[in-house]
Structure 1
Amino acid sequence: MTARVEHLVTSGTFALDGGVWEVDNNVWLLGDDAEVLVVDAAHDADAIAAAVGGRRVTAIVCTHAHNDHVDAAPALARLTGAPVLLHAEDLPLWRMAHPDVEPDGTLTDGQRLTVAGTELSVIHTPGHTPGGICLYAPSLGTVLTGDTLFQGGPGATGRSFSDFPTIIDSIRERLLTLPASTVVRTGHGDSTTVGAEAPHLEEWIDRGH
């Protein structure tokens, strides 16, 4: 059976630098009727487990370690037995959310993950956080960008551990080089495409200064 992408929205809070904000997060499931990979276990482990159903979870991939993207990851790991994977450079942020539990494995640039016969490539895209990654599935024509690239521009870089020039370089060099038709599935809000976002790069740069 061909792998597919499923979508769930969960709600909770994002907390950093002394502020707390209400947020809705996109949780992505890639797989088939037998097995699935979860991208960004946000807020509600039970709701995500319900969406998984009886399928085997091969991994819980964190695009980055802001608390709203990882707060349900340990609980989901306990429910499913799946490993939690995170880029090592985001461990300081992870430990703010989960001081008593570590991820089960690390993600590295160029790493390949496989689910339901579909290969996924890890793309390191620092800027929103030091260890931010995107997950590219060429056979599905999609890239899951977490908070690196949204419809309308790059992720926020006004808080600790973030850097605007770095996120622009990541988007320019790692994401806008993907086929224009590639569907961009984001950490919050609506999806877009690489082709729709590419023309706006100079506008983002002007707006960021």
Structure 2
Amino acid sequence: MGVRIERVVTSGSFELDGGSWEVDNNVWIVGDDAEAVVIDAAHDASAIESALGGRRLRAILCTHSHNDHINAAAELGRRTGAPVLAHPGDEVLWRMVYPDREPDGPLADGDTLAVGGAELRVLHTPGHAPGAVCFHAPALGTVFTGDTLFSGGPGATGRSHSDFGTIIASIRDRLLVLPGETVVHTGHGDDTTIGAEAPHLDEWIARGH
């Protein structure tokens, strides 16, 4: 088979600012029969490794470094030998989870990562977190948005290291300019499309979502 997108849903806790919330996370696997990348290794390294089915794991990509998106990354990297890549802007969040371990490499705006004949382009989209990024795969007609954009609006900005005005600018300038038919694969919950979300930008701003 050619390149394809698979979702594994894992469950655990999101912890920040002294609070803890039970969450279900979307873990995305992009690749073909030979190789893959994982986007957001959350909660359960064994479940993610099983879904890989023995394929070579090229990299573990982090949309941001909140604990619920990276807490299985180090273990998955240890098991597979794959590097864990994260944006340096999230260093403070990363260290909350891994105080004694750095990411294996950085992600920067404009970087491209090839897997299974497809290309993922890194878009720096701060707001939910300072180092939040999205991964745009033009040939697959999709963008992986982590917690930057959901079905129904922007990701949360009410906790430390987040900012509403910044996330709105990121969504407006980096995501809503993508083709309307682009499928949005989110960090939690259901898919949406750029075209479905774009008309609601002014509503989000008005309600300070």
Q: Which residue of 1 aligns with 2:191?
A: 191
Q: Which residue of 1 aligns with 2:139?
A: 139
Q: Which residue of 2 aligns with 1:125?
A: 125
Q: Return the alpha-carbon distance in structure 1 between the equivalents of residues 189 and 50 of structure 2.
A: 22
Structure 2: stretches of 5+ with no match in the other structure: none
Secondary structure, counterpart of 2:79 in structure 1: helix
1:128-207 → structure 2 map (5 Å cutoff): 128-207=128-207
- 1:123 Cα deviation after fit: 0.2
Q: Which residue of 2 aligns with 1:103?
A: 103
Structure 1: stretches of 5+ with no match in the other structure: none
Q: Return the alpha-carbon distance in structure 1 between the equivalents of residues 93 and 143 of structure 2.
A: 23
Q: Which amino acid aligns with 1:134?
A: C
Q: Return the alpha-carbon distance in structure 1 between the equivalents of residues 186 and 199 of structure 2.
A: 18
Q: Which amino acid aligns with 1:165?
A: G
- 1:207 Cα deviation after fit: 1.0
Q: Which residue of 2 aligns with 1:50?
A: 50
Secondary structure, counterpart of 1:122 in structure 2: strand
Q: Which amino acid aligns with 1:40?
A: D
Q: Return the alpha-carbon distance in structure 2 between the equivalents of residues 79 and 205 of structure 1.
A: 43
Kept in 1, the 8 Å contact 2:2–2:33? The answer is: no
The alignment's C-alpha RMSD in Å is: 0.7
The runs of 4+ residues in structure 1 deviating greater than 6 Å are none
Q: Which residue of 1 aligns with 2:65?
A: 65
Say whether 1:29 aligns with 2:32. no
Say whether 1:6 aligns with 2:6. yes
Q: Which amino acid aligns with 1:189?
A: G
Q: Which residue of 2 aligns with 1:80?
A: 80
Q: Return the alpha-carbon distance in structure 1 between the equivalents of residues 77 and 207 of structure 2.
A: 40
Q: Return the alpha-carbon distance in structure 2 between the equivalents of residues 119 and 41 of structure 1.
A: 19
How many pairs align?
209
Deviations 1:102-149 (A, max 9, x none): 110000000000001111100000000000000000000000000000
TM-score, with length taken from structure 1: 0.99
Q: Which amino acid aligns with 1:17?
A: D
Q: Return the alpha-carbon distance in structure 2 between the equivalents of residues 206 and 27 of structure 1.
A: 32
- 1:2 Cα deviation after fit: 2.2
- 1:53 Cα deviation after fit: 1.1
Q: Which residue of 2 aligns with 1:16?
A: 16
Q: Return the alpha-carbon distance in structure 2 between the equivalents of residues 91 and 36 of structure 1.
A: 25
Secondary structure, counterpart of 1:50 in structure 2: helix
Deviations 1:36-65 (A, max 9, x none): 000000000000000001100000000000
Q: Return the alpha-carbon distance in structure 2 between the equivalents of residues 39 and 120 of structure 1.
A: 11
Q: Return the alpha-carbon distance in structure 2 between the equivalents of residues 119 and 70 of structure 1.
A: 22
Secondary structure, counterpart of 2:29 in structure 1: strand
